[in-house]
Amino acid sequence: MTNASTTMILDVGHFRDVSDRNVHLVRWCNDADNLEAVVHEAARSLDYHFAMLDGRSLRTQDDVLRTLDEAFHFPKWSRDPIVESWNGARDWLGDLSWLIASPSTRKGVVTLLRDPEPFMVANLLQCAVLIDALIMESQSVMRDRKRPVHVVVGPLPHDYWYECFLNLMSASKHFCEACQSVDCPCEECGKRP
């Protein structure tokens, strides 16, 4: 089942430009597979790198760093097979030159943090660090490389307090206003506090 109002918001044009409002919070309830397909197709059609991080499989810092390494294909220029700290991961996320710096590489990046709720429940601090790193380092890439980098987080759970938590983060100033105005159309979401 496709959520028509959110699909319209997450069309290709939504990801085309460099914007400081590059974080898209999605309130789809029971349609994570379709969300992944829509975002992946938008990235493909724009010739962007698509990085999918599955919140259902993230629990520890090691899980996150390994997944980032796989999703972004971090260069193996050092002796370490994967990034071993947040400092290293943030350095790579703030560069992305191997993905988007030359004409033969991708024109931008779209990252999907799919199903964030299990990760938030298991390790709220690491989830917050991941979201902050994706958002803040994407700003560096857009400023330095002049290429679009977008972060999609969702589907968010029905619980309004998850969204409140995300808004507490300093990164909330980068949330896309157009996405903020689109609510999930199901009856349960309409009952939020």
Q: What is the mean pLDDT of residues 177-190?
A: 60
Q: Could you report the per-residue pLDDT of 93-142, keeping only the tens digit for each?
A: 999 988 987 777 889 999 999 999 899 999 999 999 999 999 989 999 99
Tell me which residue of 192, 161, 148 sits closest to 21, measured CA to CA: 148
Look up residue 77 and give its amino acid.
W
34 burial class (0-12, 13-18, 19+ CB within 10 angstroms)? Answer: middle
Q: What is the DSSP letter of 80?
A: S
Q: What is the DSSP letter of 150?
A: E
Every domain of the chain and the residues it spans: 17-191
- The CATH T-level fold of domain 17-191 is Rossmann fold (3.40.50)
Query: Reading across the β-sheet that carries 109-114, which strands appear in turn?
Result: 23-25, 149-154, 109-114, 49-54
Q: Could you report the per-residue pLDDT of 5-41, keeping only the tens digit for each?
A: 444 467 788 899 898 888 888 876 556 778 899 899 9
**pLDDT over 80 (residue 76):** no
**pLDDT over 70 (residue 190):** no
